[in-house]
């Protein structure tokens, strides 16, 4: 089969090289946006008097019909990529007039346009999925404002907190991800169309018109930059990596919480798996898999950053490597967010076990120290006194609430009966009224704020 660019060639391509260079196996994902880009380009050519009325009509009808007739079997490797495959198919449908579509256009601005359009749709879908996850987080948080649990630093019990407070910490991480995606869209909604191969064109095109027809917000002011910019892709891969990092942290906690040692959470059967050998097992496979998939998403970012490193202007075939990583990342991140949402929505938190855990630890030690401070003792000294009391408990096998007043007074004579209510973990949480703190009232306010963000 002769190539669309075959005029200058006398020998045919090596079959292995042809397959190696072809991108049709993966860039067929761009078919629908490629047709959309072609329609806008052709309409602009017509409006500028570059295409005649009947040429535009034939091309328009041909492109619209192609959209409905395309199947996985429409493509051939010999046509290399989606752009040349579609041009060949259009030619088969409407004849040689199809050849006029590529006037004032190159595959370089065409592929860049396609990628911008495809990413716009994906980023919109990912944003919607993240919003859904945030909404499920607020629903769970709403149920658990007054559920107390141990808060950790270094994975060591630190201070008791509200479960809603812990959950909402993730709400804000995903909120920042949504902000980043929204900002990314500014660079994605920018039109490279009409940049030609690299230098623009001699035809009287209107790049602003084709951009408008495609719903872009702006137009690249430099044709070299337009065809060789993939910053918007790298930026996206970075954001996607951050989303996966957030998911993997949450997954890690769920995996720990679902262990028998913790028993803080029960995952629904729909989001758990069994073991082929051990009948008793209920494994948090999906949390593990999302944690695991984070690796390939980071890999796609590093891979493509490296591909773009030191590329001279303008288009280079290296850049064809942008697609597989982006497609893989897009599928992985979107599915991970959706699966994770279902897992959280259907999970049950074991409120009694969470509360019990706060009764059997020293996470109220800060309360005791703060109490001594209210008695006029400097915090450093109070810290030392409480440290000694904790050591005493560890050595005698009890907790701070179990010490008698007599024993307390050996640590400091100013300790009186009024210390005991403060050692209650529920009190410890309730009293943390500072803005953004874990106090029940502060968390309720935080939840309201989260809901306001969701409503916007
Ligand atoms: N398949 C190519 C890609 O994905 C399209 C652009 C090809 N342009 C070129 N001058 N060879 O990057």
- Tokens 């039109």, residue located: 191
| Residue partners of 456: CB distance under 8 A and separation at least 6 | none
Residue 262 maps to a domain: yes
Decide: 23 in ligand 1 pocket, CB within 6 A.
Answer: yes
Find, among 283, 298, 288, 285, the residue nearest to 333 by Cα: 298
Say if residue 64 is in the same domain as residue 46.
yes
Decide: 113 in ligand 1 pocket, CB within 6 A.
Answer: no
pLDDT for the residue 9: 87
Runs of H (alpha helix) within 48-147: 53-69, 82-94, 107-143
Domain span holding position 324: 108-146+161-200+218-350
DSSP assigned state of 282: -
Say if residue 270 is in the same domain as residue 332.
yes
CATH number at residue 56: 1.10.275.10
Q: How many angstroms separate the CA atoms of 230 and 328, rounded?
A: 17
Say if residue 118 is in the same domain as residue 253.
yes
| Residue partners of 215: CB distance under 8 A and separation at least 6 | 120, 189
Say if residue 195 is in the same domain as residue 333.
yes
Say if residue 294 is in the same domain as residue 318.
yes
pLDDT for the residue 171: 98
Cβ-based burial of 426 (10 A; exposed 0-12, middle 13-18, buried ≥19):
middle
Pocket probe mutation, ligand 1, options 8, 17, 28, 111, max atoms within 8 Å of Cβ? 111
Say if residue 166 is in the same domain as residue 279.
yes
Instruction: From first to last of the 456 residues of the chain, give the pLDDT tens digit.
Output: 578 888 888 888 889 999 999 999 999 999 999 999 999 999 999 999 999 999 999 999 999 999 999 998 899 999 999 999 999 999 999 999 999 999 999 999 999 999 999 999 999 999 999 999 999 999 999 999 999 999 999 999 999 999 999 999 999 999 999 999 999 999 999 999 999 999 999 999 999 999 999 999 999 999 999 999 999 999 999 999 999 999 999 999 999 999 999 999 999 988 888 878 787 888 999 999 999 999 999 999 999 999 999 999 999 999 999 999 999 999 999 999 999 999 999 999 999 999 999 998 898 899 999 999 999 999 999 999 999 999 999 999 999 999 999 999 999 999 999 999 999 999 999 999 999 999 999 999 999 999 999 998
Model pTM?
Answer: 0.94
Q: How far is the CA of 6 from the centre of ligand 1 (A)?
A: 15
CATH number at residue 130: 1.20.200.10
Say if residue 39 is in the same domain as residue 59.
yes
Q: How many angstroms separate the CA atoms of 41 and 62, rounded?
A: 14
pLDDT for the residue 182: 98
What burial letters (b/e) apply to 244-275, b meaning 16+ CB within 10 Å?
bebbbebbebbbbbbeeebebbbbeeebbeee
pLDDT for the residue 215: 98
| Residue partners of 287: CB distance under 8 A and separation at least 6 | 251, 252, 254, 255, 258, 267, 340, 343
Q: How far is the CA of 110 from the centre of ligand 1 (A)?
A: 9
Q: How far is the CA of 334 from the centre of ligand 1 (A)?
A: 27
Residues belonging to the active site: 154, 275
Residue 154 maps to a domain: no
pLDDT for the residue 1: 56
Residue 211 maps to a domain: no
Number of domains in the chain: 3
Q: How many angstroms separate the CA atoms of 24 and 82, rounded?
A: 5
Cα 54 to chain centroid, rounded: 46
Cα 238 to chain centroid, rounded: 9
Answer with the one of 103, 134, 169 that is the final residue of a domain.
103
CATH number at residue 406: 1.10.40.30
Residue 193 maps to a domain: yes
Residue 195 maps to a domain: yes
| C-alpha pair distances (Å), 117 with each of 46, 97, 130, 190 | 22, 26, 20, 9
Residue 166 maps to a domain: yes
Residue 189 maps to a domain: yes
Tokens at 207, concatenated: 């790049």
pLDDT for the residue 426: 95
pLDDT for the residue 327: 98
Pocket probe mutation, ligand 1, options 30, 320, 324, max atoms within 8 Å of Cβ? 320
pLDDT for the residue 372: 95
């Amino acid at each position: 089969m002769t190539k669309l660019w075959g005029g200058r060639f006398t020998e045919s391509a090596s079959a292995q090289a042809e397959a190696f260079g072809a991108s049709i196996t993966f860039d067929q994902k761009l078919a629908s946006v490629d047709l959309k880009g072609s329609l806008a380009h052709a309409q602009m050519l017509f409006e500028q008097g570059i295409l005649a009325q009947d040429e535009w009509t034939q091309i328009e009808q041909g492109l619209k019909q192609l959209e409905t007739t395309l199947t996985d079997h429409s493509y051939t490797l010999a046509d290399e990529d989606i752009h040349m495959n579609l041009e060949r198919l259009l030619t088969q449908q409407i004849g040689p007039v199809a050849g006029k579509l590529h006037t004032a256009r190159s595959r370089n601005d065409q592929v860049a346009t396609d990628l911008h359009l495809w990413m716009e749709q994906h980023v919109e879908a990912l944003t919607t999925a993240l919003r859904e996850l945030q909404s499920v987080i607020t629903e769970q948080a709403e149920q658990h404002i007054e559920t107390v649990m141990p808060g950790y630093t270094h994975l060591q019990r630190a201070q008791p907190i509200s479960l809603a407070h812990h959950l909402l910490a993730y709400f804000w991480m995903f909120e920042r991800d949504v902000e980043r995606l929204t900002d990314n869209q500014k660079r994605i909604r920018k039109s490279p169309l009409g940049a030609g191969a690299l230098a623009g064109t001699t035809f009287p095109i209107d790049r602003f018109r084709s951009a408008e027809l495609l719903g872009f917000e702006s137009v690249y002011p430099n044709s070299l930059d337009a065809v060789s910019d993939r910053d918007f892709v790298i930026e996206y891969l970075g954001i996607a990596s951050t989303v996966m990092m957030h998911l993997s942290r949450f997954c890690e906690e769920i995996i720990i919480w679902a262990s028998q040692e913790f028993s803080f959470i029960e995952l629904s059967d729909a989001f758990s798996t069994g073991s082929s050998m051990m009948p008793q097992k209920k494994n948090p496979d999906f949390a593990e898999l999302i944690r695991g998939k984070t690796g390939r998403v980071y890999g796609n970012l590093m891979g493509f950053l490296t591909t773009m490193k030191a590329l001279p202007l303008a288009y280079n075939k290296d850049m064809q490597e942008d697609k597989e990583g982006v497609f893989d990342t897009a599928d992985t991140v979107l599915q991970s967010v959706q699966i994770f949402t279902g897992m959280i929505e259907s999970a049950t938190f074991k409120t009694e076990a969470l509360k019990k855990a706060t009764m059997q630890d020293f996470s109220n030690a800060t309360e005791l120290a703060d109490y001594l401070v209210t008695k006029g003792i400097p915090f450093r000294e109070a810290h030392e006194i409480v440290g000694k009391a904790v050591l005493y408990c560890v050595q005698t096998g009890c907790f701070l609430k179990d010490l008698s007043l007599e024993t307390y007074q050996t640590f400091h004579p100013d300790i009186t009966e009024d210390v005991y209510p403060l050692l209650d973990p529920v009190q410890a949480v309730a009293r943390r009224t500072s803005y953004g703190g874990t106090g029940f009232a502060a968390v309720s306010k935080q939840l309201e704020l989260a809901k306001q963000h969701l409503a916007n």
